[in-house]
Structure 1
Amino acid sequence: MEGEEVSLSEITGPFRQVLLISAGASHSVALLSGNVVCSWGRGEDGQLGHGDAEDRLSPTQLSALDGLEIVSVTCGADHTTAYSLSHAEVYSWGWGDFGRLGHGNSSDVFTPQPVKALHGLRIKQIACGDSHCLAVTMEGGVQSWGRNQNGQLGLGTTEDSLVPQKIQAFQGIAIKMVAAGAEHSAAVAEDGTLYGWGWGQYGNLGLGDRNDRLVPEEVSSLDGEKMVMVACGWRHTISVSVNGQLYTYGWSKYGQLGHGDFEDHLAPHKLEALSDSFISQISGGWRHTMALTCDGKLYGWGWNKFGQVGVADNVDHCSPMQVKFPLEQKVVQVSCGWRHSLAITERQNVFSWGRGTNGQLGHGELMDWNIPKIIESLSMDGSSGQQIEPSKVNPSSGKSYVSPTERYAVVPDETRQTANSVGGNGGDVSVPENDVKRMRI
């Protein structure tokens, strides 16, 4: 009946395998077989897509995307995107400030809506940062939209863009993949060339200095080494060469570069600790980093206050530490959020660890975990069979609007530093004074 609480509905028939995971600032999204999308965690800005502003402590089916044949999902900090190849449509929802949703305005959106400017494009990959997005087309072109105060859109200006625009600097260059950080961006071309642009205060563009770039610039310090993938943390960047070697650069106050110290690097620096491994996947968190090897071993390092590195402690690590899984399961996919991490294993199990204060770990509780814990409802080895909560949207009772005074807070440890602060890996300097971010510690 209308208004009644809907109980958990057990999925009947074949097990729905989790194909893709993505972690945001305080929320998580998963794509399951059968084109089913689930989301959980913080929902204050509509980033879960369930039509309200409520948190979800367990994976909840995003019914608004049912039947749209979604093939990819990507979390930004407080917004989310999804792509349907058959419909040639990108959908976005969540916090809308600075135009990061691409809908032509700055309004928050609580259910998935198509990005009209991208309609009909065949999209290869979408990357979402804190306040901006990038999309690579099958032809190798790049579209960008959202916040642009430091040129992270690559359009040659510092004006925000409320709708996707093509990055003209890549005309004639086929881009393979892109990555988006807080205020910077990176890309790898099909020929292995690495690019950086946007905010460069910590050397996170890899260009040898601390200057911003308003258009993509080639990273020339790699001595001919070709790259195959790139990822951005909040203020650091990770790339992998064709030989499976890992390079990191940028901010390292919390050891997130993994070089055994806390020194910034202004150009890509090879991670010697993993030089004997072939890296198959990388992910950058707010201040931590994860790398997956081709033989299924997962390593993490960096900021670990909430256990987001996953190595059974809450101490920051400046060198790679192996993350252990039950039964020594091999990992096939990883995603870093701001303070939590997600992984899929070859046994078709999904694990999460780190900060859990908004339910972003999907365990039905608000506890932090500093070791991987299985998400029962998404895992083959779940104890009670696969149970996924359906969306329970009741517009008359749902929280459809949250006032700015409730939603805005200054990021902890991100206040302006005093004059005697040390540049580089010292204080968090050069954050735009009006760049107030909402956080939940």
Structure 2
Amino acid sequence: MADVGDTMSEVSAPVRRVLLISAGASHSVALLSGNVVCSWGRGEDGQLGHGDAEDRLSPTYLSALDGHEVVSVTCGADHTTAYSESFAQVYSWGWGDFGRLGHGNSSDLFTPQPIKALHGLRIKQIACGDSHCLAVTMDGEVQSWGRNQNGQLGLGTTEDSLVPQKIQAFQGVSVKMVAAGAEHTAAVTEDGELYGWGWGRYGNLGLGDRNDRLVPEKVSTVEVQGVKMVKVACGWRHTISVSSSGGLYTYGWSKYGQLGHGDFEDHLTPHKLEALQENLISEISGGWRHTMALTSDGKLYGWGWNKFGQVGVGDNVDHCSPVQVKFPHEQKVVHISCGWRHTLAVTERQNVFSWGRGTNGQLGHGESIDR
């Protein structure tokens, strides 16, 4: 297992506790205790929410969300969302093309604005892809909006939606969580069933073929029969899921080894990752072409495309099998998030680490270089 060496750098530990981190294409957002939101990295499309189009090379306090009691933040490729439980309100900002901000138009927004169509809904989770978003309510219903050229909204059409719409295909099904890729979407239900829809050219829907789906379809291939899924994540064009027993499954595009099966072959159905079968997986994240998995005992593994060192193992070589990421003083990791070309991690000591592409300051170290 390779030592990270100088490829990984630590962002100075904040005074407040880090509750959540989320990485977009070239920007990063963190939620701190006290409902404080910070953002940094690329700001050209307003995705940082500071009211301008400037990059930020270090974590910068997002004053526009003062007093809104934000409890979650999620990055899309070039846009961002936040949710306030007290106000029962979802906010969005950044690049607005294809209606991905949910405000009924395609305009960019440089400060957070409430999505009126979601006001009053109790939100369990939000997922943002390249150009589309989804929100799961506490009742297990799913709202989707944004780009829909391959049916990734699950509405039965290929028409973009400028405002959130309920996915009717989940009527009678309680959804636990959703994940959004470039043009595809995945979901796990409270019963442990796995669904896929949208763009399926690389088998990233897990349905055994390369066809698109305009509505959610249950993954019922032999590999997952009798397996209860509890988590799902999407990379750009691959999908990762975790079973109730901590097993890791991947499928879809694998040109860069991002599925982790020791080869560079696409898989059209979920395949269990044998290399990590002795580990209980607790958290997963998919980047543009790389994947990270966190074990229940705080160990982090990465694999896939590694041109900018985003896998975090001390080299720039693609890895088709999991490699452990080493941290100073063997700190245990508690949270991870993959951007397109960079990765973020929080350790039990409340240190935030970042590595990979840094040209827009998305690593948060006050400079615009890769690490």
TM-score, normalising length: structure 1: 0.80
Unaligned runs of 5+ in 2: 1-13
Identity in percent: 87
Instruction: Show the counterpart of 2:343.
Output: 341
SS at match of 1:260: coil
Q: Which runs of 4+ in 1 moved over 2 A?
A: none
* Cα deviation 1:166-215 (Å, max 9, x = unaligned): 00000110000000000000000000000000000000000000000000
- CA–CA separation in structure 2 for the residues paired with 1:153 and 1:63: 32
Does residue 275 of structure 2 align to residue 273 of structure 1?
Answer: yes
Instruction: Show the counterpart of 2:5.
Output: none
Letter in 2 for 1:176: K
Instruction: Show the counterpart of 2:370.
Output: 368
Instruction: Show the counterpart of 2:358.
Output: 356
What's the offset of the Cα at 1:15? 2.5
Does residue 138 of structure 2 align to residue 112 of structure 1?
Answer: no
- CA–CA separation in structure 2 for the residues paired with 1:186 and 1:105: 25
- CA–CA separation in structure 2 for the residues paired with 1:172 and 1:223: 21
Letter in 1 for 2:339: G
Letter in 1 for 2:83: Y
- CA–CA separation in structure 1 for the residues paired with 2:207 and 2:20: 32
- CA–CA separation in structure 2 for the residues paired with 1:295 and 1:31: 23
Instruction: Show the counterpart of 1:136.
Output: 136
Instruction: Show the counterpart of 1:18.
Output: 18
Instruction: Show the counterpart of 1:205.
Output: 205
SS at match of 1:239: strand
What's the offset of the Cα at 1:224? 1.4
Higher normalized strand content (fraction of residues)? 2
Instruction: Show the counterpart of 2:265.
Output: 263
What's the offset of the Cα at 1:159? 0.1
SS at match of 2:64: helix
Letter in 1 for 2:123: I
- CA–CA separation in structure 2 for the residues paired with 1:135 and 1:287: 24
Letter in 1 for 2:220: S
Instruction: Show the counterpart of 1:150.
Output: 150
- CA–CA separation in structure 1 for the residues paired with 2:171 and 2:133: 19
Instruction: Show the counterpart of 1:72.
Output: 72
Letter in 2 for 1:300: G
- CA–CA separation in structure 2 for the residues paired with 1:368 and 1:172: 47
Instruction: Show the counterpart of 1:46.
Output: 46
Instruction: Show the counterpart of 1:11.
Output: none
Letter in 1 for 2:88: A
SS at match of 1:224: coil
Instruction: Show the counterpart of 2:245.
Output: 243
Letter in 2 for 1:331: V
Letter in 1 for 2:81: T
Structure number with higher relative contact order (C-alpha < 8 Å, ≥ 6 residues apart): 2
Letter in 2 for 1:239: S
- CA–CA separation in structure 2 for the residues paired with 1:42 and 1:367: 13
- CA–CA separation in structure 1 for the residues paired with 2:329 and 2:259: 29
Let me know the Cα RMSD of the aligned residues. 0.6
What's the offset of the Cα at 1:290? 0.3
What's the offset of the Cα at 1:365? 0.6
Letter in 2 for 1:316: D
TM-score, normalising length: structure 2: 0.96
